[in-house]
Amino acid sequence: MNKSIQNLATTIVVGFVIVAVTLGYWQVVRASDLTSDFRLNRYRLLEQEKRIARGRILDRSGGELAWTEMKDGVGTRVYSQPYLSHVTGFHSLMFGNTNVEQSFDAYLRGDVGVDPISALVSGALGQPPKGADVVLTIDSEIQRAAEEALGPAKGAVVAVEPRTGSVLAMVSHPYFDPNRLEKDWDKLKEDPGDPLLNRATQGLYVPGSTFKTITLAAALEEGVASPDEVFEFDMSTDNEGKPYHVEMVGGFPVVCANHGMTSPGKAVMTLSDVYAASCNVAFARLGLRLGPDRLAEYAKRFGFESTPPIEIPSEASHIASSPTFLQDRVAVASTAFGQGELLATPLQLALVAAAIANEGTVPTPHIVQEVRAARGLIFVSQPKPWKQAVSPETARIVKDMMVAGVRQGWASPASIEGVDVAGKTGTAEVRADETPHAWFIGFAPANDPKIAVAVIKENAGAGGTQAGPIAKKVMEAALR
């Protein structure tokens, strides 16, 4: 009888231990998983989310870009500058969070960085949880100038500080109004203009002649070209008397009609001249000298094939759709002057300009400057290099050629009186029945860069006349 009682007692104790361990596991170890699982706690989590006074999103000067208005214990998110929707993103109980609202959600809703005692007191008093403020690197004056300069056109503008990688402006058109997200959602999803796409970080475009900046830097760094090299072309004229030169590469004609003759039937030009004139033939030659491996390697050094480490969703830029594409001479030549299968985001090309401005170092792009809670700073961005593209000496030579391109080449529409501007245009061919995309990349002042910029205006034509003036206005706003 005593042994039976002992066995029963042991069984009960073991059972209690199993129950205690199981409860402890689910109530302590896995508690956050259970309480945050939307499928299990949908109603409670939605009610809890409504009561949170999310922190503000501010520009670099403290201007309010997003905040929460509380009414009858329920918070409504308000956005003061809808055209920044691709940066701030949106906070929606129906559709979730995007961009900064998503990346820094834990700070904004008060899960991270909030004094636990203050949170406990607020909860006891029935006050809504309050999140921390996120301060962006965006300069609202530069942002506004970029918005106005691009106007109603489809495209994007990205402006960064070359040394720090701080994003000063990021424009993507068309955009949407996050204040009307729930009302406009169906229309936004069906809009062929894709206003929900952030063209600045996720739009992939043929870079056109802006890519010649990478080809030029690679050729100089590898010693396959020198700054004082002279190029010679046999020139012909078309029916209108316009001079042009054709060079066959693997049976494919590479044509340049961007410069005139220096003597009857001839053109003799320096490396700086062919860059300023954006001569496809000269850059096809440089690409073939480099070869596929070195051309691809330098594109990667500038950031191609890597996703930029910025705090909002971004796409990697691409050299080709497959590793075998560049094994063809025509592919190497066309890639070297910015066509082929190249695809780049405006952010990536802004970083190319920033690298030349920053003595050959590509900065790490960032759009959040700091996070502030009631008890002080809880996060501060630390600028750091991302990639070393080329040497300072090569970057200096390329910079000088970019300055010459603005002074006397196709990039002259971006010139600013009294300021040395460095720039390169691009007129990127897309489909045969479409007008090319207009590009400009550059920085200013050339001797002490404060801003690097990339502009794309979709299907607008010549980069110099269409994108150059936009970049000029953005740089002028920054220099003011």
The model's pLDDT over 221-231, given as tens digits with 9 standing for 90+, comes to 999 999 999 99
For position 42, what pLDDT does the model report?
47
317 given a catalytic annotation: no
Domains of the chain, earliest start first: 142-174+191-227+270-366+384-479 (3.40.710.10)
Share of residues in the chain with pLDDT > 70 (%): 90
* Mean of pLDDT values over 380-392: 95
For position 314, what pLDDT does the model report?
98
Q: Do the bridges between strand 133-136 and strand 57-58 make them parallel or antiparallel, or are there none, so unpaired?
A: parallel
Query: Comparing 209-223, 233-247, 398-412, which segment has the lowest mean pLDDT?
Result: 233-247
For position 43, what pLDDT does the model report?
44
Residue 425's beta-bridge partner residues? Answer: 440
For position 407, what pLDDT does the model report?
96
What are the pLDDT digits (tens) for 33-83?
555 554 544 444 456 666 788 999 999 999 999 999 988 888 899 999 999
Residue type for position 304 = F
**Do residues 201 and 309 lie in contact, with contact meaning Cβ atoms separated by under 8 Å?**
no
* Mean of pLDDT values over 230-259: 90
Residue type for position 12 = I
What are the pLDDT digits (tens) for 76-128?
999 999 999 999 999 998 899 999 999 999 999 988 876 666 656 555 555 66
Residue type for position 346 = P
For position 8, what pLDDT does the model report?
73
List C-alpha distances in Å: 161 to 371, 411, 445.
20, 21, 12
**Do residues 422 and 413 lie in contact, with contact meaning Cβ atoms separated by under 8 Å?**
no
d(CA 467, CA 424): 10
- Please give the residue that has the higher pLDDT: either 286 or 118: 286
Residue type for position 151 = G
Q: Do the bridges between strand 368-373 and strand 376-380 make them parallel or antiparallel, or are there none, so unpaired?
A: antiparallel
Q: Would the pTM count as exceeding 0.85?
A: yes
Residue type for position 223 = G
d(CA 274, CA 288): 16
Average pLDDT taken over every residue of the chain: 91
306: tokens are: 């890597």
* Mean of pLDDT values over 475-480: 96
Q: Which residue, chain included where needed, has tokens 């949407």?
A: 176
For position 376, what pLDDT does the model report?
85
For position 38, what pLDDT does the model report?
46
What are the pLDDT digits (tens) for 348-362?
999 999 999 999 999
For position 40, what pLDDT does the model report?
47
- In angstroms, what is the C-alpha Rg of the chain? 28
For position 117, what pLDDT does the model report?
63
239 confidence band (pLDDT: 50, 70, 90): confident
Give me the catalytic one of 103, 166, 172, 209: 209
Is residue 434 pLDDT above 50, yes or no? yes
246: tokens are: 């054709």
* Mean of pLDDT values over 229-256: 91
Query: Comparing 31-45, 46-60, 283-297, 456-470, which segment has the lowest mean pLDDT?
Result: 31-45
307 Cβ contact list (under 8 Å, min separation 6): 314, 315, 316
List C-alpha distances in Å: 413 to 258, 342, 432.
16, 26, 27
